[in-house]
Amino acid sequence: MDIIKRKSSAKEIRGHLDNENDVEDQEEKPKYPKSVFFIISNEFCERFCFYGMRTVLVLYLRDMLGYTEGTSTIIYHLFTCVAYFFPIFGAILSDSWLGKFYTIFYLSIVYAIGQILLSLSAAGAAALPDAPATEFTMVGLFLIALGTGGIKPCVSAFGGDQFVLPQQEQQLSMFFSLFYFAINTGSLISTILTPVLRETKCWDNKCFFVSFIVPAALMIISIVIFVSGKRLYKIVSPSGNLFVKVSKCICHATYNKIKSKEKRDHWLDHADDTYDTELIEDVKIVFRVLKLFIPLPIFWALYDQQGSQWTFQATRMDGQMGSFVLLPDQLQAINPLLIMIFIPIFETFIYPAFDKIHFINTPLKKLVVGGFLASVAFIVAGVVELQIENTYPILPTDKLAQIRFFNTMDCNVRIDMGKHGRCTVLPLNMTEILDVKANGSVTIDYIADFTECSNKGYDITKKEMRGNITGREKEAWSFALSPSGLQESGYKDMVGKPEGGNPNVRGIIYLAPGLSDSTLTLRKDEKIVVSIPVSSNFSQSELIKIDDPGEYDVYLDDQLLQKEVPFKSGGVYSVVGSHIMHDNKIVGKTITVTPPNSLHMAWMLPQYIIITMAEVMFSVTGLQFAFTQAPLSMKSILTAGWLLSTAVGNIIVVIITGVRPFERQVFVIFLYAGVMAVVMVIFTVLTMFYKYVEIIDEEDIIDEDIPMKGKINSAYKHDEK
């Protein structure tokens, strides 16, 4: 394998030789900087804020602002894209003008303002119908993206500035371990907690306000903690922006290449009339690494869907675990938890074992395997989606309508629909006709026989009733049977899965003439949880969402109709009933219109395990690869390039979601898996031509019996290894 060896700059080497007191200084190791604990605590609070907010974001966009799942996904990934684009802005601001401390401080204030605006938008969406919730949300998300993205390249680097190198290399390594631990701890706790806060009640609705304001409070605390450590910080003044210098070098080389007909070994060599050779060679290395990064954004397109499409997938599954209900957005907590478990396992056991057998023993090989694991994770997610589809109800399609009859009485009703067939609607039950041919609409003549109901004490208008009902193409129409006959006007019913995953219920209760309006209630522990108005003028109620799935007692006013009826996630229910004149009582029963979610969320665990293994091998290794392969002066540029790949990956999701190439989500999932696999094959080919950069330590140079000038001038050389 070809290796490019790169040594330290001449200035650094001369400094090493000239400073005779360095040896004495190194013998007395500096104390561990207490300032880093303020930085680590700040990072914990900031990551708690970011991941806590992002965990519930797609559900807030859909359930409170009324966006579709597709639009919510687009907004979510656009936000993530912008958040990973602004690190460039933060790096330029820090290096050129403000320095790391003031960049972190000012942008953290912007961040906190954005989080507060988002909280206010949630309060407005819940309590004030005319509040500009959407506008507040978008401005808040932009400020959050600006803040979190801008401080991203500064915080870890600011922590590194607190150490004296090379005396404190081990302490610096420990700092980065603690720093990464703080990130994942903040992420884990907030990902578990904010969905619980979302489920609390305020303004008769789910309380997204609380799930946003708590992270906002943590962000404010993070600013206080960060500022409190100022007197202990070692603050390095800005030394000029390398981004600008590199950009000018590239533009100058491009201009000279277009203007000049002279052939050079590399097109960047055209800039050597203005820029020094060391800068040009460093930029060449940066371009070689960035060329490798070109296929990699697709990984982030897959990885970041844990917070969007995978969360929506979980809403269509069953989270019941004994008496505890696992919330769909809480599943995201599996990732940071597994990260904290997998990293030491990989570093201590798996990677050393691979090294011994010379298998997956280089950074690029780890990146390749990580990419293929991401593809496998989406194949598993696709298989799970296929199983979920098997639990979906049959929906009306082109040229077909669906007809449903709901019997509110405790007796059989027979219906003759001529060429459309005959059926018997059982007592307090439902009959479905799922394949009625309809070209736009269909009118069905019927004869309904109420003889049995008349014999059971119901005040039936006629024992036999005739009329017609109308159904419409690609729609489900429901009709209620009561002592007054068949409700011919009917209503368009919802038979698909509720978007939010929460169960929905409506009441279809017939009250005899003379009875006043009533209230249908669902009660738990004798407390009313859901109230549904029942009109004395017989009609179906609106669908009501049940925020907390579980078992409820069903009452009409103070009369118990049913005890401990399960209302499960994903189900649509109708409570039917009527007043029996003979016994002067109300009978009622709960009917399942759409079956609840039956596939358990535990089936998503394998895809989370695999995507987390992919993250360990891809994300952690990729960041390390970008750092180690970068010239000393270009590390921030390559790190920013790595972060930009995340932004591009989220743009890919936005484009695919916007285009929507397939109606069925499972095909979109398999599309991502296939594209990921193809891209990793291309990346594998590219890695075969990559020449690793290896840093030659300055001490090795000093010990060699070679003239110093010759070593300095041969900063880049190719060796076979």
pLDDT above 50: residue 26: no
pLDDT, mean of residues 504-516: 90
- Give the per-residue pLDDT at 633: 67
Distance CA 542, CA 534 (A): 10
The model's confidence at residue 282, banded by pLDDT at 50, 70 and 90, is confident
Give the angle subtended at the CA of 529 by the CAs of 525 and 530, to the nearest 5°. 140
* Residue 604 DSSP class: G
Share of the chain above pLDDT 70, in %: 90
- The residue whose two tokens read 């090989």 is 365
Average pLDDT, the chain: 86
Of 376, 346, 344, nearest to 361 (Cα)?
346
* Residue 570 DSSP class: T
Whether residue 125 contacts residue 208, with contact meaning beta carbons closer than 8 Å, is answered with yes
Whether residue 497 contacts residue 393, with contact meaning beta carbons closer than 8 Å, is answered with yes
Distance CA 76, CA 144 (A): 13
Burial code of 325-336, b = ≥16 C-beta within 10 A, e = fewer? bbbbbbbbbbbb
Radius of gyration for the alpha carbons in the chain, expressed in angstroms and rounded: 33
Give the angle subtended at the CA of 472 by the CAs of 470 and 475, to the nearest 5°. 125
Residue 574 burial (C-beta neighbours within 10 Å; 0-12, 13-18, 19+): buried
Burial code of 473-484, b = ≥16 C-beta within 10 A, e = fewer? bebbbbbbbbbb
Q: Which residue has the higher pLDDT, 690 or 337?
A: 337
pLDDT, mean of residues 171-178: 79
Residues 599, 601, 602, 606, Cα dihedral to 10°: 100
* Residue 99 DSSP class: H
Distance CA 715, CA 128 (A): 66
pLDDT digits (tens, 9 = 90+) for 77-86: 999 999 999 9
- The residue whose two tokens read 């533009």 is 251
Q: Phi first, then psi: what are they for 670, rounded to 5°?
A: -65, -30
Q: H or E element: which one contains 554?
A: strand 550-556
CA distances from 308 to 461, 488, 673 (A): 54, 42, 16
Q: At what angle do helices 665-687 and 635-659 cross, to 10 degrees?
A: 150
Give the angle subtended at the CA of 71 by the CAs of 52 and 605, to the nearest 5°. 50
- The residue whose two tokens read 């055209």 is 270
Q: What is the token pair recorded at 301?
A: 């397109």
* Residue 634 DSSP class: G
Share of the chain above pLDDT 90, in %: 54
Distance CA 473, CA 484 (A): 28
pLDDT digits (tens, 9 = 90+) for 346-402: 988 999 999 898 888 888 999 999 999 999 999 999 999 999 999 888 889 889 999
- The residue whose two tokens read 């570093």 is 347
For 322-345, the DSSP string reads TTEE--GGGGGGHHHHHHHHHHHH
Whether residue 486 contacts residue 502, with contact meaning beta carbons closer than 8 Å, is answered with no
pLDDT digits (tens, 9 = 90+) for 119-155: 999 988 777 777 789 999 999 999 999 999 999 888 8
For 225-272, the DSSP string reads HHHHTGGG--PPPP---HHHHHHHHHHHHHHHHHH-----SSGGGGGT
- Give the per-residue pLDDT at 41: 93
Whether residue 52 contacts residue 194, with contact meaning beta carbons closer than 8 Å, is answered with yes
pLDDT above 70: residue 15: no
Q: Phi first, then psi: what are they for 581, rounded to 5°?
A: -65, -40
pLDDT digits (tens, 9 = 90+) for 565-581: 999 989 999 999 998 87
Q: What is the token pair recorded at 651?
A: 């743009």
Distance CA 344, CA 588 (A): 58
pLDDT digits (tens, 9 = 90+) for 692-710: 766 544 444 444 443 333 3
Contacts of 556 (CB under 8 A, 6+ apart): 509, 518, 519, 520, 521, 534, 577, 586, 588
